[in-house]
């Protein structure tokens, strides 16, 4: 039976120690980044760190940069692809430019997951490695343990799944373990061709990396460390007041976290059910914040009323755990995607009646050719039975729900009035992640496994795929920027925050200023037009100010 438990929780407030704050225009650090011969380096990253906050910008064609900071002393670092990092300790009170002269340095430690992906063979073992590992993080994460043997890789994966995530052992056959860890050793082990500890890196011509767009030099990134730096913030949402709501996804955190952008303070709301795995939040029109709870127990969601600071757990005993994200529909119902049921992935909660209902959708008799579920098996293993809970779900202006069954590359929609469903299979798409319905009811989807984003016209059923400049990009989630007329998405493998203009079909990739950001399902846009994201493996959140000050838009859907 359904039960609702309300509990006013103790809250912890942690203030950031760094002196930097957007709007505190007190000092400017500027200079030029060039090579040893005095030639400017375009697209170099310059980052100023102080305490638990950093501010970053990229150089323009003339190698110049400019950082606006509050007074203080900063660790300022400059880095560029193919050059060695340079650092300075900078006091903003000291006069004069801060210039950098960088020496060449070609190292695989600068590679993104998309760079590495280009060098992994496209055979069965290579596809198994990419499908399994990029399921959780980008390929460059593996560089942290390069030189490990197959046995060491297995021990590490088994330990980390339980220690950081709070889940049981990775379930797979012995044949799959053997093939996967053998491939990890081949690509990242002691004798690996490119990524072993003493290996010669590939020639620069072997790694295709797109040129940086000119808009990137106008942008500024800000990054903030969470109260517990070992946190794994999965996703976030931004409310109308500009506050950022974050999922404390890992087992030690197990909380909803709020970041006040005006005061730069975090506030933590613990979730009572242990190991709930808070996954993805949404904000409803009444200002309440809903958080999908992805793991153990029967709790499906947590909801917070910011006016009372009361967190309420909502349970549904009749259904398996595994809610993944949420969105309010036009009637005030909250839709959740669920991986907990194989063919019943839409859960809808009515806050007025405190009742859940669910919607089934048909599954095909077999996985489509090339589906992720088939790539996740070792050669010779039996074909897995069809199972496809929804990874993400959204709702359009008519009330129709849209979801993605990510392990088979299927999009499904449901009419809540009739229960009628429709299924769509984008071409050459083994793996889907996020789905998004924009203000015109166009459906966007992250063709994660084929490195593209896709557009679906619900009226005609026609689909079109778009290739970002980064060839091995892994698009994950979306946010609509109506003031700029673009769609933003996080690129997990390419380590980019990317905009796409549907009118011109042009991409602009903003490389994240930190490695291994691994953006997840929820990104958000605040009232000032800044785009917020989580850094899943870094224990931080961040925001991008594109630097174009778009005009406000007051119209609604």
Interacting residues of 364 by C-beta distance below 8 A, sequence separation 6+: 386, 408, 410, 423
Domain boundary among the residues 88, 108, 128 is at: 108
Predicted confidence at residue 173, as pLDDT, reads 85
Predicted confidence at residue 161, as pLDDT, reads 60
The pLDDT tens digits of the residues spanning 329-379 come to 999 999 999 876 666 789 999 999 999 999 988 888 888 888 888 888 888
Whole-number Å distance between alpha carbons of 464 and 453: 9
| pLDDT greater than 90 at residue 15 | no
Region of poorest pLDDT, from 41-55, 211-225, 283-297: 283-297
Predicted confidence at residue 347, as pLDDT, reads 92
Domain boundary among the residues 80, 108, 136 is at: 108
The pLDDT tens digits of the residues spanning 514-540 come to 999 999 988 999 999 999 999 999 999
| Shared domain check, 46 and 26 | yes
Predicted confidence at residue 553, as pLDDT, reads 46
| Shared domain check, 191 and 130 | yes
Find the mean pLDDT for residues 423-428.
Answer: 94
Longest dimension (CA), the chain: 73
| Shared domain check, 43 and 78 | yes
Residue 89 in domain: yes
Q: Which residue has the tokens 């084929």?
A: 450
Domain boundary among the residues 108, 129, 150 is at: 108
For residues 213 and 219, is the Cβ–Cβ distance under 8 A? no
| pLDDT greater than 70 at residue 2 | no
| Shared domain check, 198 and 170 | yes
| pLDDT greater than 70 at residue 163 | no
| Shared domain check, 58 and 123 | no
Find the mean pLDDT for residues 320-328.
Answer: 88
Residue 293 in domain: no
Predicted confidence at residue 26, as pLDDT, reads 79
| pLDDT greater than 70 at residue 25 | no
| Shared domain check, 41 and 76 | yes
Pick the closest to residue 438 from 394, 391, 490 (CA basis): 394
Give CA separation, 424 vs 193, 362, 377, 453, in Å. 41, 12, 24, 15
Whole-number Å distance between alpha carbons of 22 and 15: 15
Please report which confidence band the pLDDT of residue 4 belongs to, taking 50, 70 and 90 as the band edges: very low
Instruction: Name the DSSP letter for residue 302.
Output: E
| Shared domain check, 100 and 57 | yes
Residue 445 in domain: no
Residue 249 in domain: no
Q: Say how many domains are in the chain.
A: 2
Assign 404 to helix, strand or coil.
strand
Q: Is the pTM of this model over 0.75?
A: yes
| Shared domain check, 98 and 65 | yes
The pLDDT tens digits of the residues spanning 231-270 come to 999 999 999 999 999 999 888 899 999 999 999 999 999 9
Torsion of CA 464, 469, 471, 476, to 10 degrees: -60
Q: What is the CATH number of the domain that holds 103?
A: 2.60.40.1120
Q: From the CB of residue 462, how many other CB atoms can be counted at a distance below 10 Å?
A: 10
Residue 469 in domain: no
Choose between 158 and 40: higher pLDDT: 40
| Shared domain check, 132 and 80 | no
- Each residue of 99-132: b (16+ CB within 10 Å) or e? bbebeeeeebebbbbbbbbebbeeeebbbbbbbb
Predicted confidence at residue 21, as pLDDT, reads 45
Predicted confidence at residue 386, as pLDDT, reads 86
| pLDDT greater than 60 at residue 20 | no
Q: From the CB of residue 435, how many other CB atoms can be counted at a distance below 10 Å?
A: 29
Predicted confidence at residue 1, as pLDDT, reads 34
Domain span at 25 = 16-108
The pLDDT tens digits of the residues spanning 222-232 come to 999 999 888 99
Predicted confidence at residue 522, as pLDDT, reads 87
Residue 504 in domain: no
Find the mean pLDDT for residues 110-123.
Answer: 96
Residue 46 in domain: yes
| Shared domain check, 144 and 75 | no
Residue 442 in domain: no
Predicted confidence at residue 554, as pLDDT, reads 40
Predicted confidence at residue 341, as pLDDT, reads 61
Predicted confidence at residue 162, as pLDDT, reads 55
| pLDDT greater than 60 at residue 8 | no
Find the mean pLDDT for residues 417-434.
Answer: 93
Whole-number Å distance between alpha carbons of 302 and 349: 12
Choose between 407 and 425: higher pLDDT: 425
In the chain, the percentage of residues whose pLDDT exceeds 90 is 73
The pLDDT tens digits of the residues spanning 56-71 come to 999 999 999 999 999 9
| pLDDT greater than 60 at residue 85 | yes
Predicted confidence at residue 171, as pLDDT, reads 63
Predicted confidence at residue 353, as pLDDT, reads 96
Find the mean pLDDT for residues 391-415.
Answer: 94
| Shared domain check, 57 and 34 | yes
Predicted confidence at residue 551, as pLDDT, reads 56
| Shared domain check, 148 and 123 | yes
């Amino acid at each position: 039976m359904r039960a609702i438990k309300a509990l006013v929780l103790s809250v912890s407030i942690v203030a950031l120690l760094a002196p930097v704050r957007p709007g505190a225009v007190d000092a400017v650090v500027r200079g030029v980044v060039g090579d040893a011969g005095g030639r400017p380096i375009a697209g170099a990253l310059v980052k100023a760190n102080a305490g638990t906050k950093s501010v970053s910008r990229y150089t323009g064609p003339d190698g110049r940069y400019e950082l606006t900071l509050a007074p203080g002393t900063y660790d300022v670092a400059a880095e560029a692809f193919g050059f060695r990092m340079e650092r300075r300790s900078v006091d903003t009170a000291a006069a004069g430019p801060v210039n950098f002269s960088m020496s060449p340095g070609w190292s695989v430690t600068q590679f993104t997951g998309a760079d590495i992906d280009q060098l992994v063979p496209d055979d069965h073992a290579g596809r198994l490695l990419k499908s399994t590992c990029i399921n959780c993080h980008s390929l460059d994460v593996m560089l942290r343990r390069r030189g490990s043997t197959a046995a060491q890789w297995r021990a590490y994966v088994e330990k980390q799944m339980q220690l950081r995530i709070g889940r049981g052992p990775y379930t797979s056959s012995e044949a799959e373990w053997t093939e996967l860890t053998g491939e990890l050793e081949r690509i990242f082990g002691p004798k690996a061709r490119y990524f072993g500890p003493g290996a010669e890196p590939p020639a620069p011509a072997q790694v295709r990396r797109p040129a940086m767009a000119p808009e990137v030099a106008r942008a500024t990134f800000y990054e903030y460390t969470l109260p517990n730096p070992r946190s794994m913030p999965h996703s976030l949402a931004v409310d109308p007041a500009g506050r950022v709501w974050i999922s404390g996804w890992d087992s030690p955190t197990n909380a909803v976290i709020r970041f006040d952008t005006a005061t730069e303070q975090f506030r933590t709301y613990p979730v009572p059910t242990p190991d709930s795995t808070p996954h993805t939040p949404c904000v409803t029109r009444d200002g309440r914040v809903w958080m999908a709870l992805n793991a153990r127990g029967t709790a499906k969601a947590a909801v917070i009323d910011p006016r009372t600071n009361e967190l309420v757990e909502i349970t549904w005993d009749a259904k398996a755990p595994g809610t993944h994200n949420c969105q309010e529909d036009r009637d005030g119902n909250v839709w959740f995607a669920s991986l907990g049921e194989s063919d019943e992935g839409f859960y809808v909660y009515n806050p007025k009646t405190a009742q859940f209902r669910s919607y089934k959708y048909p599954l095909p008799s077999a996985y489509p050719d090339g589906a992720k579920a088939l790539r996740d098996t070792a050669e010779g293993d039996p074909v897995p039975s069809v199972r496809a809970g929804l990874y993400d779900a959204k709702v359009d202006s008519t009330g129709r729900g849209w979801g993605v069954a990510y392990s088979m590359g299927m999009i499904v929609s449901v009419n809540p009035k009739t229960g009628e469903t429709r299924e769509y299979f984008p071409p050459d798409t083994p793996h889907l992640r996020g789905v998004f319905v924009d203000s015109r009811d166009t459906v966007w989807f992250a063709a994660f496994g084929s490195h593209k984003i896709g557009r679906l016209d619900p009226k005609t059923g026609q689909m079109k795929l778009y290739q970002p400049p980064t060839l091995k990009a892994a698009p994950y989630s979306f946010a609509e920027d109506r003031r700029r007329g673009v769609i933003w998405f996080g690129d997990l493998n390419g380590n980019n925050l990317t905009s796409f203009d549907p009118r011109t079909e042009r991409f602009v990739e903003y490389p994240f200023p930190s490695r291994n950001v691994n953006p997840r399902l929820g990104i958000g846009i605040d009232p000032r037009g800044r785009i917020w994201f989580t850094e899943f493996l870094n224990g931080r959140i961040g925001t991008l100010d594109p630097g174009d000050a778009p005009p406000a838009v007051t119209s609604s859907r």
